[in-house]
Structure 1
C-alpha cells in the first residue's frame, strides 16, 4: 500500500514540512520542496510572550502564552494545508516533531525552552484542519524533534547513521538534538537517560546547561549579555554565531571545551554502561554547518577531545586506540533530517 506522508519539524521560531516518499522498506526521502512558516508571521504571534521556567509548570497559562500556542498551531496548519494543496495529495498520514517535554498522552507540549506550553496542540490542529475541510488521517502522536533527527539520518539514503552499530548524533539550532544508535537501531534518548543525559540536562562546573553554551541561540544570548544588546539588535546588525565565535575568544574557548567535554562524556558513558564504542559521532543541522564552514574550530574540538581520550582512565587501551586511530567525527549534510524522520514515524505509526 502506498501512503501519502507529510513530515513536519517544529522549532522555537518556525515550522517546516514536506511530502515524504518511501523508497523501500529501509529508505525514505523528500518528495517535495520544503515549506516553511515563521511563527512571527502568524496572526496570533505575541511579541509580549515570555517563556515560563521549568519549575513553574503548575502555573496556569497566561493569555499571551495561549496566544503564542495558537500561533504555533497556525504555523502547522498552514504548512499542512500548503503541502496538500500544492502537491494534490489526499488523506495524508502526518508526523509532527516538536521540541520540549510532551504531555502523558503525547498530544501536547508540557514545557518548551524558549516557547509556549501547548497541552492540546494536536487536538486544536486537527479541529482547525477539520473546520478548513482539510482531510487527513488521524495524527497518532506528537514526536520529539531529536528522535526524528535520528530517524531521518537512519532512513534517508544520504543519512549519516546508516550502516553503523553504535553512533551518537548531535544537531544544533535554537536548542540541541541528541540521538543515539545502539546495536544498529535508533533508540529514543528517553530510554537511555538513566546513564546518558540529554545535553540540556547536563551542566558544567558552574551549574550552566551545556545546551546554553553550544546551541546557536545560546551563543547569541551569551554575546547579548556581554555587550548589553538585545538579541534582536544583534540579529539586525548581522551578528550571528559564526561571527561571534570568530571575534570573541572567551565564547569560542568555552564552545570548543564544552563540545569536547560533551563528546568525552558520551564516549565514557557508553563504555561504562555497555562496554562498547561509537563507530561514529555525527554533527548535524546548523551546528554541523557552522563547523563545516570553520575547519579550524572543528580541528580544535577534535584535538582537545583526542587529548582527553589519550589520558582517559575509564577507557581501556583497545577503546582508546579505536578513537585515536580513526576519524570517527563526521559532519552531516542532511539538512532536513527531522522532516524525513517525522514522515518515517507517520508511516510506522500506521503499521
Structure 2
C-alpha cells in the first residue's frame, strides 16, 4: 500500500454537531488541509428536538452487565447522528479522488471493540456506530483503505492534536493539562513527556464529565452549553428561549462586557469553577486525590491516592475548543480570567499539599495557554487513524 496515494480525514463528533477536515501528514507533523465541513444534527430532517438521554446511572449499569438496550428515541436519534457523520464524510470527499483513511472521535464510553458508544451523558447509545457509518459509505462507493479501526476519545484526540499538530501547546512541555469544551467537556493530559489517556488512569484521576461541583455536573458548569444553562438559572429564562433569541456563551460574554450584572455573575462563577477544577488537577497529580468533588455515579469506585506520578507538578494549563475561544474574547475584559486566576492563586497559596517551590513560583499568567487549535480533536482523530494505518502496512 502506497501511503503517498492515501488521503486522510479526521472528524470530531459532538453532542450537537460533526466537524471534519482533510489532514495532510508531513515530515514535520500534521496540518489541516483546505476548509472544514460542519454539519449540525438539528439540520437533519428527522432531528429529535426534545431528545432526552437515558438516565446515566442506568446506562452505566447496563454497560457493566453487558446488556446495552437502546430505547426507541435513542435508536432514532442515533440514526440522525450516524447519517450526519456519513454526510460530513461525503461532503469532504466530494469530487476528490483517492483511497481514504478515516479517524473519528466521539464522546461517551465505548463498546468493547471501540466501534460503538455504550454510554453517553448528552446523547444516545449507538453500539454499532462505526459499522453503520461504513455501510452508508459502502453504499455510496467511497473507497476506504481500511475500515474505521475505532472510535477514539475526543478528549484523547485533543491531546494528540495538541502534541503533534503544528502550533499545539503540548509540544516542548513535560507536564500539562488540557480542558476543552463545546456542548460537553474534554480532558487531556501529558505527564513526564508522554500523553496519558484518562482511561488508563481512571483509578486515580476522574474525568471532568463524571464529576460534580456545587451540586452540578462539571459539564453543566464549564461547557459552553453549561454556561448557557447557568445563565438560564440566574435569569429565570428557559434555555430554549435563550437559544431561540441567539443568546449563547459568546453573547452572554458580550452582555457582561456591556455591564449586564446577571451575565457578569454567571461568567464570574465560570471563572471560579474553572479555577477549582485546575487546582484539583494540580493537587491530585502532585499528591493524590483529596475528595474535592463527588461523582455523578454513586456506584463509581472512589479514587485511590497512590499513583506513579506523585510529586509531579503541572507546568501548563491549556484551555481549548469553544471555551478557549470564549477565554480569548475575555482577555481584555477579564470577567472570567480574573476569577479564574484569583481562585486558583488563592487555593495554591493556602494548600499544605503542594511543594513550596511550586507555590512560590506559581504565576497564573504564565501557567495558562489558550489553544491555537480550535480543531484539535479532529486533527487528533486523523493522526490516530494514520498511525494505525501506517503500522498495519509497515510503512
**The residue matched to 1:51 in structure 2 has which SS?**
coil
Write the distance in 2 (CA, Å) between the matches of 1:274 and 1:23. Answer: 36
Is it true that 1:260 corresponds to 2:269 in the alignment? no
TM-score with structure 2 setting the length: 0.84
Partner of 2:17: 14
Is it true that 1:154 corresponds to 2:163 in the alignment? yes
Output one character per residue of 1:74-121: Cα deviation in whole Å (capped at 9) or x when no partner: 1111111121124x1322111000011111110111122221111100
Is it true that 1:168 corresponds to 2:177 in the alignment? yes
Write the distance in 2 (CA, Å) between the matches of 1:253 and 1:18. Answer: 35
Is it true that 1:314 corresponds to 2:353 in the alignment? yes
Is residue 48–residue 64 contact of structure 1 (8 Å, CA) maintained in 2?
no
**The residue matched to 2:178 in structure 1 has which SS?**
strand
> Structure 1 residues 301, 325: CA separation in 2 closer, same or farther (over 3 Å shift)?
closer
**The residue matched to 1:219 in structure 2 has which SS?**
helix
Is it true that 1:304 corresponds to 2:339 in the alignment? no
Partner of 2:229: 221
Output one character per residue of 1:245-267: Cα deviation in whole Å (capped at 9) or x when no partner: 52324423321221111111111
Write the distance in 2 (CA, Å) between the matches of 1:53 and 1:348. Answer: 36
Measured after TM superposition, the shift of residue 223 of structure 1 is 2.6
Measured after TM superposition, the shift of residue 326 of structure 1 is 7.0
Partner of 1:23: 26
Computed over aligned residues only, the root mean square deviation of the Cα atoms, in angstroms, reads 1.8
Unaligned runs of 5+ in 1: none
Measured after TM superposition, the shift of residue 16 of structure 1 is 0.9
Is residue 176–residue 189 contact of structure 2 (8 Å, CA) maintained in 1?
yes
Moved more, 227-236 or 281-290: 227-236
Measured after TM superposition, the shift of residue 227 of structure 1 is 4.0
Is residue 345–residue 364 contact of structure 2 (8 Å, CA) maintained in 1?
no
Aligned residues: 348
Q: Tell me which of 327, 334, 354 is aligned to 1:291.
A: 327
Partner of 2:386: 347
Output one character per residue of 1:279-313: Cα deviation in whole Å (capped at 9) or x when no partner: 21111111111111112121331122112211220
> Structure 1 residues 47, 207: CA separation in 2 closer, same or farther (over 3 Å shift)?
closer
**The residue matched to 2:35 in structure 1 has which SS?**
coil
Partner of 1:112: 120
**The residue matched to 1:161 in structure 2 has which SS?**
coil
Write the distance in 2 (CA, Å) between the matches of 1:321 and 1:92. Answer: 51
> Structure 1 residues 325, 317: CA separation in 2 closer, same or farther (over 3 Å shift)?
farther
Write the distance in 2 (CA, Å) between the matches of 1:222 and 1:279. Answer: 31
Is residue 310–residue 324 contact of structure 1 (8 Å, CA) maintained in 2?
no
Partner of 1:279: 315
| Aligned 1:91-240 pairs, distance under 5 A | 91-136=99-144, 137-204=146-213, 206-240=214-248
Moved more, 133-142 or 219-228: 219-228
Measured after TM superposition, the shift of residue 171 of structure 1 is 0.4
Is it true that 1:65 corresponds to 2:74 in the alignment? yes
Write the distance in 2 (CA, Å) between the matches of 1:258 and 1:192. Answer: 23
> Structure 1 residues 13, 325: CA separation in 2 closer, same or farther (over 3 Å shift)?
closer
**The residue matched to 2:148 in structure 1 has which SS?**
coil
Is residue 117–residue 126 contact of structure 2 (8 Å, CA) maintained in 1?
yes
Measured after TM superposition, the shift of residue 202 of structure 1 is 2.3
Is residue 30–residue 164 contact of structure 2 (8 Å, CA) maintained in 1?
yes
Output one character per residue of 1:150-177: Cα deviation in whole Å (capped at 9) or x when no partner: 1111111111111110100010111111
Unaligned runs of 5+ in 2: 63-67, 288-308
> Structure 1 residues 325, 102: CA separation in 2 closer, same or farther (over 3 Å shift)?
closer
Partner of 2:43: 41
Is residue 341–residue 364 contact of structure 2 (8 Å, CA) maintained in 1?
no
> Structure 1 residues 208, 48: CA separation in 2 closer, same or farther (over 3 Å shift)?
closer
**The residue matched to 1:33 in structure 2 has which SS?**
strand
